[in-house]
Amino acid sequence: MSNEIDKSKFKKCSCGIDIENEDVTIKNHYTLIGWFWWSMGTTAIPKTITFKCKKCNIQFEKITNVELIKYHMYYRKH
């Protein structure tokens, strides 16, 4: 199994920016309980992750699927 994220599972921005590009803003959205655990330094799985292109200021991907969220959290660049 590769240590890289399979970008084909996620959308790209219309200008070609993908989820691992440095020109993307990634925002994790947590539940209230998730925020509590995250603030205590514990790993929490977000409820939603959104990706927004810094070049054209468009949100091009929003994932809510738990399996895709876990996949992204595990394989993303740190």
Of 25 and 38, the structure prediction assigns the larger pLDDT to: 25
Check if the beta carbon of residue 21 is closer than 8 Å to that of residue 64. no
Taking CA atoms, 37 is separated from 42, 56, 58, 69, in Å, by 5, 33, 30, 17
Does residue 39 register a pLDDT over 70? yes
Please state, rounded to an integer, the average pLDDT across all residues of the chain.
88
Q: What is the pLDDT of residue 2?
A: 59
Q: pLDDT (tens digit, 9 = 90+) per residue, 40-62?
A: 887 788 999 999 999 999 999 99
For residue 62, what pLDDT is reported?
97
Confidence at residue 3, expressed as pLDDT on a 0 to 100 scale: 67
